[in-house]
Amino acid sequence: MPTNHVFVLNADKNFLSMVHPARARKLLSQNKASVFRTFPFVIILKKQIQIPHLKQYILKIDPGAVWTGFAIQCGFEIVFQMELKHRSNAIKSDLHLRSGFRRGRRSRNLRYRKKRFDRKKQLGWLAPSLRHRVQTTETWIKRFIKYCPISAIEIEQVRFDTQKIIQPEISGVEYQQGVLWGYEIREYLLDKWGRKCAYCDVENVPLEIEHIQAKSSCGSDRVSNLTLACHDCNQQKGNLDVADFLNQKYKFDLIAAKNRIDKILKQRTSPLSSAAAVNSTRFAIVDAAKRHNSNVLCWTGGRTKMNRCQQGFPKSHSIDAACIGESGSQIKFLTTQPLIVEAKGHGTRQSRRTNDKGFPAITVKTDKKTGEKTTSTVAPKRSYKHIQAGDIIKFELKKDSKTCSDKKKAIESTVKVKAGWYTARVKTPTPKGFEVKIGEHRVTVSSMVGVKFIYRNDGFSYSFL
């Protein structure tokens, strides 16, 4: 399977043109280069060389609410693909949990501090979960610029422009009747209605845009009045009211008809949270890119989808990034194996831990000499420096490990993890070893003998499709 091209640094740590993986292996085997970084894979030459001309590369970014796609293009060739998963939902849930603890403390008979409602937010303020999307995207922009001669950055700035969707006339007749007409609206509806018919749930068939309230019955063209339907349902409904049509379609099951009517009427006005998140961060991501490269171009999501559909590429985050803009109209993929990066964070910074009910978690320590027990609510300090949570390591499991298949349900059956070599991300360090998660099972290794470090923790986990 073709893999991503390899980043190359000169002996003085200045970037050079990317090379094919076979060329990188040859340089490493001839001892002319060494590994500088594992994810993404970067090699550094041992002797300084003079390169009269460097290739020019374009960094292409497709921002999303959960996933962000990256692609690096050289000429008409895509030489690198990456997909980044954000941890925005985890941040939001952690903040929601913390606010619940705070409300609980204030409602009890404890020291009271008045709520400060006069806090003023700075211009351009973003919620922590949204700011995380911008910061992680900027982190990878800086990394790529450090390892590769990036001449331009192309960003899909707007995937769902709700203002234009609700009022298409604000962009003029050229936009409505141009080659891009219909792409933004169709993509919005596909995500909103789950890529299936709203009336019969059929999937993997051509879907048509359909008016919930027919235009002959004073229905508007606003996106809140649009849905997706298969050809048969669209023809059968015609200009009927949605309630009358569904009562006829499910006449032998009136409960199912009522449930589907309620679902459609409720979902037609429900906001698309992913679209809102993308719209909230679209300008911040462009501003972050401009801080590191002055040549930043912005394109619409309609152009991306048109390029992808005309060339017959499947849909994925990294492929969407490759199809962005004018340069994505005629491309050739030299790699089909994107690097999957998932943001994991750097752990908790709480000085005082709490249990699941918000009360201080008390840790009991026993003095080995005196036998006295002491309690503390402060998070224990680490007494080890050899390994950290999040490190990627390669280790040998010398014998089969028995682990409980489900500790919460207290199932007595055990599952064996066979002996052998494993590469995994450290889940929990221990004073003498570590604990990792292999599949769905936790395995504890009590020795660091023979352990090889693949990558130190930087807040991300790495894998390939």
Instruction: Identify which of 425, 359, 451, 427 has the alpha carbon closest to the alpha carbon of residue 39.
Output: 425
Q: Which domains does the chain have, with CATH numbers?
A: 7-45 (no CATH), 57-87+129-162+274-343 (3.30.420.10), 193-267 (1.10.30), 387-464 (2.30.30)
Secondary structure E strands in 409-457: 414-417, 420-429, 434-438, 441-445, 452-455
Stretch 16-33: mean pLDDT: 95
For residue 110, what pLDDT band results from cuts at 50, 70 and 90? low
Q: Which of 44-58, 94-108, 321-335 has the lowest mean pLDDT?
A: 94-108
pLDDT on residue 29: 96
DSSP assignment letter at 370: T
Q: What three-state secondary structure class fits 76?
A: coil
pLDDT, position 9: 96
Mean pLDDT of 302-326: 93
Structure tokens at 411: 């199932």
SS3 88: helix
pLDDT digits (tens, 9 = 90+) for 221-263: 777 788 889 998 988 888 888 888 888 888 878 888 888 888 8
Helix runs in 392-433, H state only: none
Residue 143: pLDDT over 80? yes
Helical H segments across 212-294, by residue range: 231-237, 242-249, 254-267, 273-290
pLDDT-based confidence at residue 409 (cuts at 50, 70, 90): very low
**Range with the poorest average pLDDT among 117-126, 376-385, 426-435:** 376-385
For residue 405, pLDDT over 50 is answered with no
pTM for the model: 0.73
The segment with the largest mean pLDDT, out of 4-18, 105-119, 213-227, 243-257, is 4-18
| Spatial distance between the Cα atoms of 145 and 402, rounded to a whole number of angstroms | 46
For tokens 């840790």, name the residue. Answer: 363
Q: How far is CA 335 from the centre of its chain?
A: 20
Instruction: Give pLDDT tens digits for 260-291.
Output: 888 888 777 655 677 778 888 989 999 999 99
Report the percent of the chain where pLDDT is more than 90: 35
Distance CA(445)–CA(5), nearest Å, equals 35
The predicted structure's pLDDT at residue 408:
46
pLDDT(5) > 60 = yes
Kindly tell me if the per-residue pLDDT of 369 is higher than 90: no
CA–CA dist 458, 31 (Å, integer):
28
Mean pLDDT in residue range 426-438: 85
DSSP-derived 3-state class of residue 397: strand
Q: What are the helix and strand counts (H, E) for the chain? A: 12, 22
How confident is the prediction for the chain on average, in pLDDT?
82
Per-residue pLDDT band for 164 (boundaries 50, 70, 90) equals low
Reply yes or no on whether the pLDDT at 374 is more than 70: no
E-assigned strands of 213-344?
A: 226-230, 296-300, 332-333, 339-343
Q: For 43, phi and psi rounded to 5 degrees? A: -115, 155
Mean pLDDT, rounded, for 375-380:
58
Say if residues 387 and 398 touch (Cβ distance below 8 Å). no
Q: Higher-confidence residue: 429 or 340?
A: 340
What would the mean pLDDT of 292-299 be, rounded to a whole number?
94
How many residues appear in the chain? 465
Alpha-carbon Rg for the chain, nearest whole angstrom, is 27
The model's pLDDT over 323-340, given as tens digits with 9 standing for 90+, comes to: 999 999 999 999 989 999
Q: What is the pLDDT of residue 28?
A: 96
For residue 293, which amino acid is it?
N
What pLDDT was estimated at residue 178?
Answer: 44
Q: Is the peptide bond between 314 and the residue preceding it cis, with omega within 30 degrees of 0?
A: no
Task: Tell me, rounded to whole angstroms, the distance of Cα 93 from its chain centroid.
Answer: 16
| 179 has a pLDDT exceeding 90 | no
The answer to whether the CB of 154 falls within 8 A of the CB of 299 is yes
Instruction: Judge whether residue 364 has pLDDT over 80.
Output: no
